[in-house]
């Protein structure tokens, strides 16, 4: 017996079939949105003026990686000393920061 499983992405804006998933981060919050070609082009066009005016910040990523590794170690979360950090761990780290900030308000 043969079995085939298909996964269909659904555009998060209009409910049609999506052609790609786009990941983006704003204010340390990471998001993923599934979009079709038309909505993906509109998304990129909307962000382009901001991207054109922004600086690419590679040092921040390095600093965050070190802080994330230290946070993970303190919270008994296993993470490699070098290389890419799993998105799940990055999300946990930023959620922790948001909870700490909310507790101060």
Residue 30 pLDDT > 60 = yes
pLDDT digit string, tens, across residues 54-105: 887 655 566 688 999 999 999 999 998 888 899 899 889 988 888 887 776 4
pLDDT of residue 79: 92
pLDDT digit string, tens, across residues 15-24: 999 999 998 8
How many Å apart are CA 25 and CA 18, to the nearest integer?
A: 20
Long-range CB contacts (< 8 A, 24+ apart) of 68-77?
68/93, 71/96
- The verdict on pTM exceeding 0.85 is no
pLDDT of residue 24: 87
Q: What are the chain's domains? A: 1-54 (3.30.60.230), 56-105 (4.10.320.10)
Least Cα distance to 35 among 15, 5, 62 occurs for 15
Evaluate whether 94 touches 30 at the Cβ level (below 8 Å): yes
| Angstrom distances, CA of residue 23 to CA of 33, 77, 92, 100, 102 | 7, 24, 17, 25, 25
Rounded mean pLDDT, 18-45: 92
């Amino acid at each position: 017996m043969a079995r085939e499983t298909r996964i269909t992405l659904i555009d998060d804006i209009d409910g049609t079939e999506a052609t790609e998933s786009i990941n983006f981060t704003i204010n340390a919050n990471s998001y993923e949105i599934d979009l079709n070609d038309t909505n993906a082009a509109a998304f990129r066009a909307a962000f382009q003026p901001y991207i054109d005016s922004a600086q690419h910040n590679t040092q921040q990523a390095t600093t965050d990686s070190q802080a994330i590794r230290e946070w993970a170690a303190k919270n008994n979360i296993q993470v490699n000393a070098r290389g890419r950090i799993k998105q799940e761990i990055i999300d946990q780290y930023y959620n922790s920061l948001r909870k700490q900030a909310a507790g101060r308000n």
